[in-house]
Copies of this chain bind each other. A is one copy, B any other.
Amino acid sequence: MLDERSLPLRERKRLRTRRTLAETALRLFTDHGFEATTLERLVEEAEVSKSTFFRAFPAKEAVAVEAETEVWTAYTAALDRGRPEGVVLDVLRDALTEVAVALDPDWDRRYVATRRLILTAPALLAYVDHYRTGVERQVVACLAGKLGLDDGDLRLQVLAELTTTAWSVAARDWVRNEADGGRERLVRRLRDAFRAVPASLDLRAPGTG
């Protein structure tokens, strides 16, 4: 994803401490719990100061969900680059799918660990909920710009949400099965989820007498 060797020394170091922190955090949080692990303990283990931590991450929660943010960072970046054509929902689906297949090979392991962690810590759940909404806002703004629509257009908001929801459902299933079948399985699940969306509108309560 990121070419390590071509960067200036300072940037390389920044990236290294970032990774060390994320790696250490995932281990500590998994072993002893998110809340039970203090920041002090984490930065001590990673051999950096608290100041450095907050220069790399905006909050304790953020370092725990790196794998999640990687997905959405790539996703919004792809949308920013691309020029939407045809059915917008398809554009979003394709962008997200391409991101999924292009992720770092090590991402699978980290993502699974992250999702499991989230299930155990309410603060993390709150963080990702809000993060996800932020992504949707970003997508809406991006599309509104490119399509010449209003920022408050309900259709854009709906489409942005459908996409994150499809991911969320697909990923939940994928993680539950220990990410068996690898990235291909995730992509298949994602496709299925998008396919199932239109049926939602027509869902009816089964005939009540």
Query: With an 8 A cutoff between CB atoms, is A197 at the interface?
Result: yes
Most buried by B among A84, A155, A165, A196: A155
Task: Encode contact with B along A132-162: 1 for CB under 8 Å, 0 otherwise.
Answer: 1110000000000011100010111111011
Say whether chain A's binding surface is mostly helix, strand, loop, or mixed: helix
Copy number of this protein in the oligomer? Answer: 2
Question: Which among A126, A173, A201 has the greatest number of chain B C-beta atoms within 10 A?
Answer: A201
Q: How large is the interface on A (under 10, 10 to 19, 20 to 34, 35 or more residues)?
A: 35 or more
Q: Encode contact with B along A112-132: 1 for CB under 8 Å, 0 otherwise.
A: 000000000000011001101
Partner of A126, one of B84, B125, B126, B196: B126
Check: A202 CB closer than 8 A to any chain B CB.
yes
Of all chain B residues, the one with the shortest Cβ separation from A87 is B204
A203 contacts B87, C-beta separation under 8 Å: yes
The verdict on A8 contacting chain B, using a C-beta distance below 8 Å, is: no
Known A-B contacts: A87-B204, A133-B133, A155-B196. Give 10 more (CB < 8 A). Answer: A83-B208, A87-B203, A89-B201, A91-B205, A126-B126, A154-B166, A154-B193, A154-B197, A156-B203, A201-B201
